[in-house]
Amino acid sequence: MNITLTTHKGEARVDSRLIAEQLGNQHKASMSLVDRYAAKFRRFGVLPFQMEKPAAGSAGGRPERYALLNEDQCYYLLSLSRNTETVVDLKADLIAAFREARDRASVTDAQYLPLYHAMHAEVATLAQRAKECGSSTPEQIFHINANKALNVAMGIASGERGMLTIEQRLLLTSLQAVYRRHLHDSLERGDDHREAGRQAKNAVLAYVATAGGLLLGGKAA
């Protein structure tokens, strides 16, 4: 089974429609249980509900109401179902999905964010060098370009960092350190902002082609 988690206010959650689909149930039946036992669901955390409009081009239809369930709420919902093989398998998949989410958060808290801030502190220095060289480009653009350079090296689009696997997040964390180090060294040598940016960008591409392939099993993304 494929469990896709979403993030709601910083917490990993599962769409109730996905639970129903994996169980082979009508979503209406699952939502009926959530509504009937809402007070009990809230014992395990906030119970957010969402509305989704029908897809563009669909014929009619009303907005669909669904719940975003945290880990404990998912298990509680499954406890209201008969313990079939499907339910047992889904419990195992949920445990694995939430564990991976916790591991990703651990990488983010312990390594990714500190190196992210360190890289962007160096990017601020790059923007200052550009200003000294007569550039009128706002500092924000340099920060955007740095993030974009790492996304391109990873083969991901803007906004996809929250969906990276553990291995991809570790690679991205390392790329931030590589980018910062080469940017720093280039600026220390007295290179202008264009050359410093070029050196940092080339360094992350080279890193992905070598260490990145080893970490991700032969592919960068």
Closest CA to 13 of 77, 81, 67: 67
Domain of residue 157: give its range.
Answer: 102-215
Q: How many domains does the chain have?
A: 2
- Please tell me whether residue 142 adopts helix, strand or coil conformation: helix
pLDDT value, residue 221: 43
Q: How many alpha carbons lie under 13 Å from residue 29 in its C-beta half-sphere? A: 10
- Please tell me whether residue 169 adopts helix, strand or coil conformation: helix
Asked whether residue 130 falls in the same domain as residue 161, the answer is yes
- The amino acid that residue 119 corresponds to is M
Asked whether residue 76 falls in the same domain as residue 110, the answer is no
Would you say residue 1 lies in a domain? Answer: no
Instruction: Report the alpha-carbon distance of residue 66 to residue 50 in Å, rounded.
Output: 5
* 116 Cβ neighbours under 8 A, 6+ residues apart: 176
- Please tell me whether residue 95 adopts helix, strand or coil conformation: helix
Asked whether residue 167 falls in the same domain as residue 123, the answer is yes
Would you say residue 95 lies in a domain? Answer: no
For the beta carbon of residue 54, count every other beta carbon within 10 angstroms: 12
Asked whether residue 46 falls in the same domain as residue 130, the answer is no
Which parts of the chain sit beneath pLDDT 70?
1-2, 55-61, 104, 107-109, 212-221
Asked whether residue 107 falls in the same domain as residue 194, the answer is yes
Instruction: Report the alpha-carbon distance of residue 156 to residue 160 in Å, rounded.
Output: 6
Two structure tokens written together for 127 = 């923007």
pLDDT value, residue 78: 92
Would you say residue 93 lies in a domain? Answer: no
Asked whether residue 113 falls in the same domain as residue 191, the answer is yes
